[in-house]
Amino acid sequence: MNVFRGATAIVGIGQTPYYKRGTSPDPELKLALRAIVAACADAGIAPQDVDGFVSYGSERNDGQKLMWGLGTKELKFGALVWTHGGGIPGALGLAASAIIAGHAEIVVVYRAMAEGSNERLRVAVAQNDTAAQYLVNGMDGPAQICAMRSQRMIEYDGVPRSCLRDMAKAAYFHAKRNPNAYGRTVDLDDQTYEASRYISEPYRLFDCSRENDASAAVILVSAERAKDLAKKPAYVLSAPIGAPHGWGAAEENMIDYTSGGFKSVAKRLWAQSGYGPKDVDVAQIYENMTGMGVAAIIDHGFCTPETAGDFIRYENLIVPGGTFPVNTSGGNLADGFIHGMGLVNEAVRQIRGESPNQVADAQLSLVTGGPGDMVVSTALLGSAATL
């Protein structure tokens, strides 16, 4: 038995409303505080007792900036996980590791974004890690880079375009029943999707996530401590981060080009958790762009490029009825985009039975990080019954 599996749990979740990008009434640091305080209230933990702070990507609201607003008694652990959205489940993994190692006892994993505060899109998304090979050649960033990878996934690997469309449709369908979803008023049918403009082929408008100003946070503690708290714990069964040989900062020369980068971490996820793709009840699949979510699903072994057309099909992706319900709050596309952090909260709600599109008797809940990132991660959360 490994020391990681089920040793920690998420016991509190918190989130601010989604604001249109650039319109948050609060600066970013205040959004972070709001989400963290809400997660503490949800967990029944005093904000000043949080002693660890973990985030990912370009988060700038570090623990040291938050601690005066939280009344932090002692900051015992703080770290940022590589790289962009790829690091989200890995941030859960690092927080859990810190608890297991005894560095800290109550660790918050969070993300806050307000374009007005830090010009995230211009400055922070880029993190100055876009190579000259892209920018010189008219490639601005993720949308175009992912588009080129998805184009080969479609044209060469033979994954049907309908998979991209159906990922978008499922997200917007779920958002209709989520009163907090930013995209809940959109009716996305085949015609609306096909008529939408191209952003960068093969992506249309509805294939792309749009940024919000918002913040989300989750609180992790040891499994032992979790038992005494108010909410049903979502145990962290596995949360590996990594990249296989031939991935990383490859400037489009990755060996497994059309992959989302998850094959190595998925292998470790299933090995450490003791579960496999067939056991998963519900999945939150990070879709910066629909096509990359499709790659993530294939990487995790839920289907192959050959079976993707049948498996990644609208009817199979929705609640109720689908065997593989994804992005049940609406996901990055239609719920809202806090650099993917909202997906973690929804993965926890499914274990608790609190989702706006609840999967009946959900016990195993998957959440995947930003696909195509230079380092990626994935996590499997489970109820007490899965331990």
- Contact residues toward other proteins (CB under 8 A) are 121-122, 126, 128-141, 143-144, 147-149, 151-152, 155-156, 197-202, 249-253, 257
Instruction: Decide if 348 contacts 222 (C-beta within 8 A).
Output: no
Residue with Cβ nearer other proteins (163 or 181):
163
Q: What is the rounded CA–CA span in Å between residue 32 and residue 67?
A: 11
Residue with Cβ nearer other proteins (133 or 304):
133
Nearest to 6 by CA among 226, 280, 313: 226
Nearest to 302 by CA among 319, 281, 287: 281
Minimum distance of other proteins from residue 42's CB (angstroms): 37
Measured between alpha carbons, how far is residue 140 from residues 89, 143, 145, 201 in Å? 26, 8, 8, 14
Question: Which residue reads 């000259």 in tokens?
Answer: 132
Minimum distance of other proteins from residue 132's CB (angstroms): 4
- List 368's β-bridge partners, or say none: 285, 378
Q: What is the rounded CA–CA span in Å between residue 19 and residue 210?
A: 11
Minimum distance of other proteins from residue 257's CB (angstroms): 7
Minimum distance of other proteins from residue 142's CB (angstroms): 10
Instruction: Decide if 109 contacts 220 (C-beta within 8 A).
Output: yes
Q: What is the rounded CA–CA span in Å between residue 338 and residue 205?
A: 18
**Exposed e or buried b for every residue in 140-164, given b needs 16+ CB within 10 A?**
eebbbbbbebbbebbeebebbbbbb
Neighbours of 133 (CB within 10 A): 11
Minimum distance of other proteins from residue 205's CB (angstroms): 9
Instruction: Decide if 116 contacts 25 (C-beta within 8 A).
Output: no
Minimum distance of other proteins from residue 332's CB (angstroms): 18
Minimum distance of other proteins from residue 133's CB (angstroms): 6
3-class DSSP state for residue 283? strand
Amino acid at 219: I
Q: What is the rounded CA–CA span in Å between residue 267 and residue 381?
A: 16
Minimum distance of other proteins from residue 280's CB (angstroms): 30
